[in-house]
Structure 1
Amino acid sequence: MTVSSAVSAAPVAPAEQADPFRYGWRYVRRELPSGQLVFEQHPLTLDDVHYPQEGDFIVHSSEHERIRNYLYDALRAHLRADPEVVVLADVRVAWSAPGLRPLGPDVVVFSGVRQRRDWTTFDVAAEGAQTLLVVEITSPETRHIDLVDKVDEYAAAEVAEYVIVDLAGRRRSGQIVVRGYRLQDGAFLEAPRDADGRVLLQVGSLRIGTTGEDVLIFDAQGHPIGDYLEVEARLRDAEARIRELEERLKRAEGQA
């Protein structure tokens, strides 16, 4: 038996839409009659997106990716002091609840993690972890899954808090809507909000809401947590002001 690096596209049924790979794809190994192994590119279905396998490539919009990266970075930065808290983005999660299939949340926060690994699938039971928070960002195709199916699934998985950033709903309402839920007695109830309408999170005493056309995380005092580019820009401005003050001080000392 030989192994080939050849990659081919699997046959697509005529009933499929013009772009059969609109949800994404996975590579499936197949042995030819000659004994040669090839890897075929298979299009994902909506069910595959709901229940991903390791190695799947799922297509997201640039806005979806930007929001997810911001939420991931902001949560990591705010929760970094606790060595047993882990924030993951787009990693497959195997839950401890019997019969519940693995899911791929956009962002998830775990506590009680004693050893960090390079996870492709995070096994909640094997890690002895508790799921503090899951955040999903809707797309037009997955909106019903995030708003309906995953509410029940994450409750069954004993996720303490579930937040939905309804990006796809903006097409209907004209703005991004943030929905928050807290687990109580095995079911999700709507999470409380502050005076500005932001969802109050138990994890890190944070808040999440919208401002204009964007989604932001706020600290316990209500101050927004900026994204990496914004923080870097502020740092560079501060460094420039420090250099300017140092130059002024040197000139003043030279004139004294």
Structure 2
Amino acid sequence: MTHTTIHTLPASDTAPAEDPFRYGWRFVPRPTPDNPHYLEQVPLTLEDVLHPETGDFIAHSDRHETDRMYLTAVLRARLEEAGVAIVLSDVRIAWDIPDLRPHGPDVMVIPGIRERQDWSTFEVAVEGARPALIIEITSPETRENDLERKVEHYARAGVAQYVIVDDAGKGRGKRRLRLLDYRLEAGMYRLHPSDAAGRVHLAIADVWLGVEGDHVVCYDDHGVAFGDYATVVRQAADAEERARLEAQAREAEAQARAAAEAQARREAERAQREAQAREAEAQARAAAEERARLEAQAREAEAQARAAAEERARLEAQAREAEAQARAAAEAQARREAQARAAAEAQARRESQARAEVEARLRALEEELRRLRGEG
């Protein structure tokens, strides 16, 4: 899986200098109030092309792409079937060098790994392997990156051989290709001269790379070309198309699987919500029944309390009535006793008066008797 989508241009086309999208573009999330998923198309800079991000759209010419596919097909046939190395094309690579940002080589050959995977970014630190060969095919708009900055960067990254297929025609009419062959020596690149036929040796593949007209060709040690260029390119294009369709099929399958899983999750969530709703309804019903039971108990308790209060009031009334009757009886008794005392006192007074009268009469008789006796 490539990290970029390549927009091909006719070989004779040169994007105008004022075209902000001449290097390519990327889509950047720019949420708006109306569309939280809005993606803004942002033009790439030369620095962005040097250090691409996953998903960048980088513009290349048709001949650039046919050369890339041809080199990829020849090197894969030469190396991958024998298990010598894998060949990646237009895959972003993240280095294990501090401060060295990722690149997106046209073609890179990586020994030590027997099987290609669906990388969008090949991480050197994770995979434990680095390219032994990188091939870049220049484009007029971005050749400065390939001819200058990548020479320094790939040397720092420890890439043993860096070959540049340079279009010195600068985009004016027919391509004029030349080959630049950099070899790593003592941590620095040294430019090796081509052989008498203008070819360079790709050491890891034991293949000679040359130029015929406006395209590149690979040869064996006997100078025999590896396949017809048009046939190889067509086969490579067919292989890339098959890979693209397979990737689309996998993506469609993944999307279908994701959609099915999402549907299953939605159904499970709906079932869970329905179960929760039923549970909540049952709980609400149980709570309502419990509330009704408690209210009935409260009413019963209130009725019992009211009955108890009424009984208490009745008993208190009876007690007050009994108390009133007792008090009335006590008062009547007290009145009778007072009357009896009064009567007794009156009787006592009468008896006292009677005694006093009797005693007075007796004294009078005694006085009369003494007088009669002459004792007076």
Deviation at 1:171, TM superposition (A): 5.7
Per the alignment, in what secondary structure is the counterpart of residue 223 of structure 2?
Answer: coil
More helix by share: 2
Within-5 A mapping of 1:169-248: 169=169, 175-227=176-228, 229-230=230-231
Q: RMSD of the TM alignment (CA)?
A: 2.5
Deviations 1:46-101 (A, max 9, x none): 11111100000100011111111111111111112333511111111101111111
Q: Corresponding residue for 1:241?
A: none
Deviations 1:87-136 (A, max 9, x none): 11111110111111100111111011255320100111211113111011
CA distance, structure 1, for counterparts of residue 25 and residue 233 of structure 2: 35
Per the alignment, in what secondary structure is the counterpart of residue 71 of structure 1?
Answer: helix
Amino acid across the alignment from 1:180: D
Alpha carbons 1:138, 1:164 under 8 Å: kept: yes
Alpha carbons 1:92, 1:105 under 8 Å: kept: yes
Identity level (%) = 50
Q: Corresponding residue for 1:40?
A: 40
Q: Corresponding residue for 1:23?
A: 23
Q: Corresponding residue for 1:154?
A: 154
Amino acid across the alignment from 1:211: E
Per the alignment, in what secondary structure is the counterpart of residue 37 of structure 1?
Answer: coil
Amino acid across the alignment from 1:201: L
Amino acid across the alignment from 2:31: E
Q: Corresponding residue for 1:102?
A: 102
Residues 232, 186 of structure 1: alpha-carbon distance in 2 compared, 3 angstrom cutoff: closer
Most deviating of 161-170 and 86-95: 161-170
CA distance, structure 1, for counterparts of residue 108 and residue 70 of structure 2: 13
CA distance, structure 2, for counterparts of residue 123 and residue 175 of structure 1: 34
Most deviating of 170-179 and 84-93: 170-179
Q: Corresponding residue for 1:88?
A: 88
Amino acid across the alignment from 1:222: G
Residues 17, 179 of structure 1: alpha-carbon distance in 2 compared, 3 angstrom cutoff: closer
Q: Is 1:56–2:66 an aligned residue pair? A: no
Alpha carbons 2:140, 2:171 under 8 Å: kept: no
Alpha carbons 1:169, 1:177 under 8 Å: kept: no
User: Structure 1 length as normaliser, TM-score?
Assistant: 0.77
CA distance, structure 1, for counterparts of residue 180 and residue 193 of structure 2: 10
CA distance, structure 2, for counterparts of residue 231 and residue 46 of structure 1: 31
Per the alignment, in what secondary structure is the counterpart of residue 130 of structure 1?
Answer: coil
Alpha carbons 2:73, 2:232 under 8 Å: kept: no
Q: Corresponding residue for 1:139?
A: 139
Per the alignment, in what secondary structure is the counterpart of residue 72 of structure 2?
Answer: helix
CA distance, structure 2, for counterparts of residue 99 and residue 232 of structure 1: 37
Within-5 A mapping of 1:111-150: 111-150=111-150
More strand by share: 1
Amino acid across the alignment from 1:175: R
Per the alignment, in what secondary structure is the counterpart of residue 59 of structure 1?
Answer: strand
Per the alignment, in what secondary structure is the counterpart of residue 66 of structure 1?
Answer: helix
User: Structure 2 length as normaliser, TM-score?
Assistant: 0.54
Deviations 1:135-186 (A, max 9, x none): 1111112111111111000000100100000124466897310111111110
CA distance, structure 2, for counterparts of residue 118 and residue 168 of structure 1: 34
Per the alignment, in what secondary structure is the counterpart of residue 110 of structure 1?
Answer: strand
Per the alignment, in what secondary structure is the counterpart of residue 216 of structure 2?
Answer: strand
Residues 227, 28 of structure 1: alpha-carbon distance in 2 compared, 3 angstrom cutoff: farther
CA distance, structure 2, for counterparts of residue 59 and residue 79 of structure 1: 29
Amino acid across the alignment from 2:144: H
CA distance, structure 2, for counterparts of residue 222 and residue 42 of structure 1: 46
Per the alignment, in what secondary structure is the counterpart of residue 42 of structure 1?
Answer: strand
Residues 169, 100 of structure 1: alpha-carbon distance in 2 compared, 3 angstrom cutoff: farther
Unaligned runs of 5+ in 1: 1-15, 234-256
Alpha carbons 1:108, 1:131 under 8 Å: kept: yes
Alpha carbons 1:139, 1:168 under 8 Å: kept: no
Q: Corresponding residue for 1:167?
A: 167
Report how many residues are paired: 218
Per the alignment, in what secondary structure is the counterpart of residue 224 of structure 1?
Answer: coil
